[in-house]
């Protein structure tokens, strides 16, 4: 009996072993990911507790003026004569405004400022 007669059985066995190893690795990666999320959540809770004990806020508050510069209703236009000249117009009132103007219908535009 030759050693080469068992090659198909050996390749099937090695393929099944490889498949099992890949499956076990996937399970372990999912568990490690879950564990990392738990650790990050515990760290965030710990940090919040430390900040509260020290009298600090756990979030940053950014003060933004309620002006037309940061309003969702503003529209920016180019002036026809000069390309570098812009002017603002209010979408609600349909009138020209300045960046420092304020009104009661202010809605913050999240894309108009950087944190």
Please check whether residue 59 lies inside any domain of the structure: no
Blockwise average pLDDT, block size 10, the chain, 115 residues: 66 93 97 95 86 65 69 75 70 80 78 63
Q: Domain check: are 47 and 13 in the same one?
A: yes
Give yes or no for a contact between 73 and 105, defined as CB atoms under 8 angstroms apart: yes
Tell me the CA distances in angstroms from 83 to 28, 86, 87, 110, one per residue in order. Answer: 59, 8, 11, 26
Contact 49, 92 (CB under 8 A): no
Q: How many domains does the chain have?
A: 2
Structural domain span for residue 17: 3-54
Pair 8, 33 in one domain = yes
Cα separation values, 68 from 15, 83, 86, 89, Å: 66, 21, 14, 9
Instruction: Specify whether 15 is located in the same domain as 45.
Output: yes
pLDDT confidence of residue 105:
80
Q: State whether 74 and 102 are in the same domain.
A: yes
Query: Are residues 76 and 50 located together in one domain of the fold?
Result: no
């Amino acid at each position: 009996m030759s050693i080469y007669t068992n090659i198909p059985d050996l390749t099937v066995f090695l393929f099944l072993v490889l498949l099992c190893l890949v499956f076990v690795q996937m399970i372990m990666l999912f568990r490690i990911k879950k564990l990392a999320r738990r650790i990050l959540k515990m760290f965030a809770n710990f940090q919040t507790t430390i900040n509260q004990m020290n009298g600090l806020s756990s979030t940053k508050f950014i003060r933004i003026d309620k002006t037309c510069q940061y309003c969702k209703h503003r529209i920016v236009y180019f002036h026809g004569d000069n390309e570098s000249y812009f002017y603002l117009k209010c979408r609600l009132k349909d009138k020209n405004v300045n960046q420092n103007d304020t009104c009661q219908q202010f809605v913050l535009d999240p894309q108009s400022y950087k944190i």
